[in-house]
A and B are shown apart, each in its own frame.
Chain A
Amino acid sequence: QKEVEQNSGPLSVPEGAIASLNCTYSDRGSQSFFWYRQYSGKSPELIMSIYSNGDKEDGRFTAQLNKASQYVSLLIRDSQPSDSATYLCAVPRGKLIFGQGTELSVKP
């Protein structure tokens, strides 16, 4: 089992819809979780950090953490074509452990 797993996608949603990206992790002791967005040919950009169970909202983005079930998700409301990118989930364990990323495509 990989330490951090994501569906590779691609995930395609229409403009204005909610995009839901999921990530599971294997280490029950993990305390913090990060979501990065990476546009094609660019470097990853940190968009959300979450440390406690529940939801954390930042604009159109909501991160959800469920430590009991060992998953963290990212919801993007009112998806825009500019949200089309690969989204990476990361967990720190001395170093950042990344999932393989989920490619999101938002269709106009």
Chain B
Amino acid sequence: KAGVTQTPRYLIKTRGQQVTLSCSPISGHRSVSWYQQTPGQGLQFLFEYFSETQRNKGNFPGRFSGRQFSNSRSEMNVSTLELGDSALYLCASSLAGAEAFFGQGTRLTVV
């Protein structure tokens, strides 16, 4: 059974650009959550999607957005990138918001 797949694994962007990250959940999982992790900040929740609907949202500016498709794949977008957006972005999938399994993450560097 394939795990959670995140693409790309690494990304370097310039300030002011935008970026789109992709996440394919475990087959059959309908819940996808996104987290940002920076050194010293821990895992910070961005948002959660279930059956194409955003069910929960963390305390991030509107530059951070996401969506989920009918096949449960999810994307998150960050517009007008700032240096502080440099982080490991993690996607986690679960059957119904319980045990969550993480992808390998996308490491975003903003220069």
Contacts and interface: CB of A to CB of B under 8 A. Distances in A.
Measured as residues with beta carbon below 8 angstroms from the partner, the interface class of chain B is 20 to 34
Contacts, number: 45
Interface in B65-111: 88, 90, 92, 97-105
A46 B90 contact: no
A43 B35 CA distance: 11
Interface string A71-108: 00000000000000000101010111110110000000
Contacts of B98: 32, 92
B56 interface: yes
Nearest to B92: A96
Nearest to B99: A49
A2 B1 CA distance: 36
Nearest to B56: A95
B55 to A, nearest CB: 7
B102 A44 contact: yes
A3 B109 CA distance: 30
A96 B45 contact: yes
A100 to B, nearest CB: 5
Contacts of A101: 42
A32 B103 CA distance: 22
Nearest to A34: B99
A27 B75 CA distance: 31
A42 interface: yes
Given A46-B100, A94-B97, 13 more contacts: A34-B99, A43-B88, A43-B102, A44-B43, A44-B90, A46-B101, A46-B102, A90-B100, A92-B97, A95-B33, A96-B33, A96-B45, A101-B42
Kindly list the 7 A-B residue pairs having the minimum CB-CB distance in the complex, ordered from nearest: A43-B102, A98-B43, A95-B56, A43-B105, A100-B42, A44-B102, A94-B56
Interface of A: 32, 34, 36, 42-46, 49, 88, 90, 92, 94-98, 100-101
9 contacts: A34-B99, A44-B102, A46-B101, A88-B43, A92-B97, A92-B98, A94-B97, A95-B48, A96-B100
